[in-house]
């Protein structure tokens, strides 16, 4: 079994050109991408994933609302999103985007949001902070602020992963815009695939779909064999 994906490694990323709407993104481990279609479509226990999403969403939204309160930001827009609503329905169905993975759906009071696998590779990036450290969850938490990363449409997707773990989620492509992992130079970029949502108008909605996608990936992780040397 591969190392699980930590949701703290996948920050929420509002997009500037979309008036800070959010495209929930979940990276796909290379080993998971290589699984058979049968495993990809049969390896999700929706009830277990829902239980995980309930716990992680409630923890994440509590942290975000506390951050907003400390910064004196209004929180009225999060009314009805303070905790996971028992009427919200998580489900899954065969993909309609031409990939072997399931499409994940969240029915929010009759409005259905979806998270789909996109087979077109996207660049993932991590860089040194002002102290010469790569952003990882522990470094970000020391800053005591909620992990939001504002980016442009054309920017790489930012991950709070150490470079060696990023290489499990994508490949280097030095001939393509210099996509390389260079710990000494302070940059790590790989090209990989992801699950993506449509643009969402709130952090709360992005948290639900991101956490559901991560729960799906972590269930599939049990099916990935890890090569060991002797």
For the chain, the domains span 7-223
Give the pTM.
0.94
- Tokens for 21, please give them: 């709407």
Instruction: Give the bridge partners for 197, in sequence order.
Output: 115
Distance, in Å, from the CA atom of 57 to the CA atom of 79, rounded to the nearest integer, reads 15
Residue 102 has pLDDT above 90, yes or no: yes
Per-residue confidence (pLDDT) for residue 227, from 0 to 100: 53
Three-class secondary structure of residue 196 per DSSP:
strand
pLDDT of 144 reads 67
**Distance in angstroms (rounded) separating the CA atoms of residues 55 and 99:** 29
pLDDT at position 89 over 70: yes
Dig out the tokens for 57 from the structure.
């969403």
Is the pLDDT higher at 1 or at 151?
151
Q: Which of 35-39, 117-121, 145-149 has the lowest mean pLDDT?
A: 145-149
pLDDT tops 50 at residue 140: yes
- Ranking 13-22, 77-86, 161-170, 191-200 by mean pLDDT, the lowest is 13-22
Give the pLDDT of residue 154: 92
Bridge partners, residue 195, by sequence: 26, 117
Dihedral sign, CA of 90, 96, 98, 100?
A: positive
Cα–Cα separations (whole angstroms), residue 166 to 48, 70, 131, 135, 182: 27, 33, 20, 12, 12
Asked if pLDDT for residue 92 goes beyond 70, the answer is yes
> Angle, to 10 degrees, between the axis of helix 46-70 and the axis of helix 203-220?
140
Closest Cα to residue 119, out of 188, 40, 42?
A: 40
Write out the two tokens for 16: 């500037």
CA distances in angstroms from 223 to 31, 43, 73, listed in the order given: 9, 8, 43
How far is the C-alpha of 120 from the C-alpha of 71, rounded, in Å?
A: 38
Whether pLDDT at 228 is above 50 = no
């Amino acid at each position: 079994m591969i190392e699980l994906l930590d949701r703290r490694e996948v920050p929420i990323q509002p997009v500037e050109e979309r008036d800070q709407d959010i495209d929930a993104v979940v990276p796909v481990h290379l080993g998971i991408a290589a699984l058979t279609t049968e495993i990809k479509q049969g390896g999700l226990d929706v009830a277990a994933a829902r239980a995980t999403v309930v716990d992680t969403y409630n923890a994440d939204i509590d942290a975000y609302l506390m951050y907003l309160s400390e910064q004196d930001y209004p929180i009225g827009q999060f009314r009805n999103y303070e905790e996971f609503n028992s009427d919200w329905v998580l489900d899954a169905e065969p993909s309609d985007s031409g990939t072997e993975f399931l499409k994940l759906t969240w029915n929010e009071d009759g409005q259905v949001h979806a998270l789909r696998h996109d087979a077109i590779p996207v660049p993932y990036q991590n860089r040194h902070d002002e102290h010469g450290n790569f952003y990882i969850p522990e470094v970000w938490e020391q800053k005591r602020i909620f992990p939001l990363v504002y980016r442009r449409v054309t920017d790489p997707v930012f991950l709070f992963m150490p470079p060696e773990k990023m290489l499990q989620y994508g490949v280097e492509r030095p001939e393509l815009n210099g996509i390389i992992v260079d710990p000494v130079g302070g940059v790590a970029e790989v090209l990989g695939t992801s699950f993506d949502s449509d643009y969402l108008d709130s952090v709360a909605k992005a948290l639900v779909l991101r956490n559901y996608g991560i729960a799906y990936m972590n269930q599939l992780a049990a099916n990935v064999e890890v090569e060991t040397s002797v």
